[in-house]
């Protein structure tokens, strides 16, 4: 029996030791409020009923609360944490009243908070009576105001509202932001002004101090890049507020993505030029990296003029509005656009980027595609005159339109009715204008622009094609290329040898149907099998490729006539849009007319669906 007692004694000792150790290692209890939450509860309640709830810092399972007054209730709310809730009933008296709330728990030190509620006596309290200090790059600041009367706020000129600072009857935190300053100090005042209670008005001093360390430049990476690429500028003492930092690539400001004390991340701006110097400006102090950045040119799509409204309006490029079918470009940077909206308001529009102008040079009944000939004279197809006339716009006469009548040999002219001319094209090698009429006989016309003598060099036959696109191969001027949208002959490009036009057109692809409304089927890399979605214009680029505006597919494509391959250059098939930028972002909407500049660095596009003139440019 004694042995049994000894065993029991040992077991009890071990248990007591375990309990004691556990008690010694257990986390001590805590119960408190953050200073910010305490400040919230200590703000006076106005005379009306109200409540406030703040998070309580504790690890206790049980927290006890009590109030010294019936008009003030206090409770614990468990909702994803422990919250202290204080509620007051209306105070119909004139003077203020105060209750004490007590918060306590087992084995911890509790605390008591006074709760103040005003009566009907007019009152206004600002928590920050001793003023506000804004130090070293910190621009945001707040003001806690409790009021039961109407009031207004007046700010220093260098401070603005950062949120909804509409004055509020009750207790509210008002947020503001100061503008950056160079190293130094300044003082301003926030005036809290009541309506009819001047004794309650308050003026709060706001001081701002900036003492930034001298920035130091290191290196940057990468050392070269295209527009929209990212560059990291290394150094020291940059701060962390990107609103205080400006970065320039030559004269162009770069987008600042982020700022750390030792690194600034920026986006390369468009076309800063070479050699490219990077400058960092922090609070007015400018530093220059000793190593230059190598800017790499790349293609991008941008809007020249137009805002989506297709009703014509002249003015600056920013003001201009139009809905252009075709465009052409002369040697002086003038873009000539054929504006044709849904009504009868039709113009030839001159656009010049250097002059920042969009203007009508003539109103026409049925203008169509234009072309630029010798001496920068513009020739415009007359849509519904059966190939018997065209318009001439001579810059020597300020592009005043003159209708020119074409004379044909007897019994060898174009049809006398229902023959539509979409396009004229000038051949610089022989000085003639060429056009193809949409008609049952599909005649190909050749016109001398100096004498207006014309001839039909080929008749297609019995089908009724619609020839939207027409161009001359600039290599030798002997090949005429045409784009048709007539299913009877097959959608796609054709070629004619002008040295032997009696052989007619040869089709370059074998697809006979449009890709359809989806705008994706039929788009292959093989020219012979690829389809087109109502392609409009075709133009040779400086690289020798034949560029095609694929209207229904919302893309620009280019054809390699040597390898008989085709690829998309701008846009995504089936995705309409107006987004500018590099190839991976750019979107078009029913592109139609095309025109290359003489340097081969810019392709202008009449984006019919978006009512804009766009340009695909290398910069």
Q: How sure is the predictor about 413, in pLDDT bands with cuts at 50, 70 and 90?
A: confident
Instruction: Supply the DSSP string of 302-340, one letter for each residue.
Output: EEEE--S--S-B-BSTTT-B--EEEEEE-TTSEEEEEEE
pLDDT at 164: 94
Question: 394 pLDDT exceeds 70?
Answer: yes
Q: How do residues 557-567 score in pLDDT, each as one tens digit?
A: 999 999 989 99
Lowest mean pLDDT among 113-117, 138-142, 212-216, 264-268: 212-216
Task: Give me the pLDDT at residue 464, please.
Answer: 61
Instruction: Please determine, for residue 516, whether its predicted confidence score (pLDDT) is greater than 70.
Output: no
Residues 6+ apart with CB under 8 A from 299: 582, 583, 616, 617, 618
- pLDDT for res 80: 66
Residues facing 134 on adjacent strands: 208
Q: DSSP code of 600?
A: S
So what's the pLDDT on residue 484? 81
Find the largest Cα–Cα distance for the chain.
144
The radius of gyration of the chain's CA atoms, rounded to the nearest angstrom, is 39
The average pLDDT across 429-435 equals 96
Is pLDDT above 60 for 450? yes
Residue-wise pLDDT tens digits, 92-120: 989 999 999 999 998 899 899 999 999 99
Query: What domains appear along the chain, each with residue ranges and CATH number?
Result: 31-118 (2.60.40.10), 124-210 (2.60.40.10), 216-295 (2.60.40.10), 300-618 (2.120.10.30)
Beta bridge partners of 403: 391
pLDDT at 224 over 90: yes
**Rounded Cα gap, residues 310 and 320, in angstroms:** 10
Give the dihedral of Cα atoms 312, 316, 318, 324; nearest 10 deg.
30
First to last CA, the chain: 102
Q: What is the percent of the chain where pLDDT is above 70?
A: 89
If you write DSSP's letter for every residue of 543-576 in order, what string do you get? TS-EEEEETTTTEEEEEETTTTEEEEEESBTTBB
- Which pLDDT does position 398 carry in this prediction? 96
Contact between residue 333 and residue 352 where contact means Cβ atoms under 8 Å apart: yes
State the pLDDT confidence band at 521, using cuts at 50, 70 and 90.
very low
CA distances from 525 to 529, 530, 532, 565 (A): 8, 7, 12, 5
pLDDT digits (tens, 9 = 90+) for 346-382: 899 999 999 999 999 998 888 999 999 999 999 999 9
The first and second tokens of residue 417, run together, are 């009715």
Has residue 2 got a pLDDT over 70? no
Asked whether the predicted pLDDT for residue 313 surpasses 50, the reply is: yes
Statement: residue 537 has pLDDT above 80: yes
Residues of the chain above pLDDT 90, percent: 64
pLDDT band at 1, cuts 50/70/90? very low
Place of tokens 């030559």: 250
Indicate if the pLDDT at residue 606 is higher than 60: yes
> Distance between CA atoms of 547 and 163, rounded to whole angstroms?
52
pTM of the model: 0.67
Q: What is the band of 11 on the pLDDT scale with cuts at 50, 70, 90?
A: very low
Distance CA 137, CA 382 (A): 66
Min mean pLDDT across 15-29, 157-171, 279-293, 594-608 is at: 15-29
pLDDT in the model for residue 7: 43
Run of H or E residues at 438: strand 432-438
Q: pLDDT category, 338, cuts 50, 70, 90?
A: very high
Average pLDDT value over all residues in the chain: 88
Judge contact between 539 and 559, C-beta under 8 A. no
Q: Is the pLDDT of residue 541 over 60?
A: yes
Say if CB 288 and CB 248 are below 8 A apart: no
Q: How confident is the model at residue 179 (pLDDT cuts 50, 70, 90)?
A: confident
The answer to whether residues 150 and 195 touch, using CB atoms and an 8 Å cutoff, is yes
Q: What is the pLDDT of residue 370?
A: 96
CB 462, CB 416: distance < 8 Å: no
Residue 159: CB atoms within 10 Å: 20
Report the alpha-carbon distance of residue 84 to residue 490 in Å, rounded.
79
Q: How many whole angstroms separate alpha carbon 224 and alpha carbon 316? A: 35
For residue 82, the model assigns a pLDDT of 87
Higher pLDDT, 235 or 465: 235
- Under a CB-based contact definition with an 8 Å cutoff, are residues 486 and 466 in contact? yes
The answer to whether residue 316 scores a pLDDT higher than 90 is yes
pLDDT for residue 129? 77
Q: Write the Ramachandran bin of 355: left for phi over 0, alpha for psi from -120 to 50, otherwise beta.
A: alpha
Summarize the confidence of residues 182-199 as an average pLDDT.
Answer: 90
Q: What's the average model confidence in pLDDT over 572-596? A: 93
pLDDT at residue 510 tops 80 = no
- pLDDT > 80? residue 136: no
What's the pLDDT tens digit per position in 256-278?
999 999 999 999 999 999 999 99
- Residue 509 has a pLDDT of 77
pLDDT at 135: 83
Average pLDDT over residues 540-561: 93
Q: For residues 506-526, give the mean pLDDT.
A: 55
Give residue 210's pLDDT band: very low, low, confident or very high (50, 70, 90). confident
The confidence score (pLDDT) of residue 183 equals 73
């Amino acid at each position: 029996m004694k042995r049994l007692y000894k065993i029991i004694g040992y077991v009890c000792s071990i248990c007591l030791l375990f309990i004691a150790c556990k008690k010694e290692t257990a986390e001590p209890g805590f119960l408190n409020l953050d200073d910010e939450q305490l400040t919230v509860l200590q703000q006076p309640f106005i005379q009306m009923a109200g409540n406030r709830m703040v998070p309580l810092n504790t690890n206790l399972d049980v927290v006890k609360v009590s109030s010294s007054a019936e008009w003030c209730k206090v409770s614990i709310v468990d909702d994803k944490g422990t919250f202290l809730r204080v509620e007051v009933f209306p105070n119909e008296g004139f003077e203020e009243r105060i209750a004490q709330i007590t918060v306590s728990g087992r084995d911890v030190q509790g605390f008591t908070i006074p709760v103040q509620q005003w009566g009907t006596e007019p009152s206004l309290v600002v928590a920050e009576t001793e003023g506000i200090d804004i130090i070293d790059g910190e621009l945001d600041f707040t003001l806690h105001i409790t009021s039961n009367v109407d009031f207004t706020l007046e700010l220093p000129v260098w401070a603005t509202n950062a949120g909804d600072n509409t004055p509020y009857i009750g207790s509210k935190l008002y947020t503001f932001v100061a503008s950056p300053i160079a190293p130094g100090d300044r003082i301003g005042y926030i005036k809290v002004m009541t309506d009819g209670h001047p004794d309650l008005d308050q003026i709060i001093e706001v001081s701002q101090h900036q003492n930034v360390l001298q920035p130091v430049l290191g290196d940057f990476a990468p050392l070269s890049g295209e527009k929209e690429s990212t560059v990291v500028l290394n150094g020291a003492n940059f701060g962390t507020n990107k609103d205080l930092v400006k970065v320039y690539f030559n004269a162009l400001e770069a987008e600042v993505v982020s700022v750390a004390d030792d690194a600034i991340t920026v986006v390369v701006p468009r076309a800063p030029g070479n050699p490219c110097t990077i400058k960092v400006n922090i609070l007015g102090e400018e530093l220059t990296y000793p190593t230059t950045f190598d800017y790499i040119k790349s293609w991008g799509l941008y809007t020249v003029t137009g805002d989506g409204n297709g009703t014509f309006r002249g003015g600056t490029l920013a003001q201009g509005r139009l809905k252009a079918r075709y465009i052409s470009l002369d040697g002086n940077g003038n873009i000539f656009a054929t504006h044709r909206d849904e009504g009868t308001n039709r113009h030839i529009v001159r656009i010049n980027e250097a002059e920042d102008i969009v203007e009508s040079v003539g109103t026409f009944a049925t203008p169509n595609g234009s072309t630029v000939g010798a001496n920068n004279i513009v020739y415009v197809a007359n849509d519904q005159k059966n190939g018997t006339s065209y318009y001439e716009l001579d810059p020597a006469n300020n592009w005043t339109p003159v209708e020119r009548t074409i004379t044909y040999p007897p019994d060898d002219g174009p049809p006398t009715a229902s023959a539509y001319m979409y396009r004229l094209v000038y051949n610089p090698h022989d000085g003639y204008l060429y056009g193809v009429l949409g008609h049952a006989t599909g005649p190909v016309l050749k016109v001398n622009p100096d004498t207006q003598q014309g001839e039909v060099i080929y008749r297609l036959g019995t089908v009724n094609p619609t020839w939207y696109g027409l161009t001359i191969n600039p290599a030798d001027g002997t090949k005429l290329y045409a784009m048709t949208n007539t299913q009877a002959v097959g959608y796609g490009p054709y070629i004619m040898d002008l040295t032997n036009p009696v052989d007619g057109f040869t089709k370059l692809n074998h697809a006979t149907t449009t890709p359809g409304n989806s705008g994706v089927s039929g788009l292959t890399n093989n020219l012979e099998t690829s389809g087109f979605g109502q392609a409009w214009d075709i133009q040779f680029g400086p690289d020798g490729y034949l560029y095609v505006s694929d209207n229904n597919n919302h893309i620009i494509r280019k054809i390699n006539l040597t390898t008989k391959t085709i690829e998309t250059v701008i846009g995504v098939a089936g995705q309409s849009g107006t987004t500018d930028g590099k190839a991976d972002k750019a979107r078009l909407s029913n592109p139609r007319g095309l025109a290359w500049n003489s340097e081969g660095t810019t392709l202008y596009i009449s984006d019919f669906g978006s009512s804009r003139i766009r340009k695909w440019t290398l910069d």
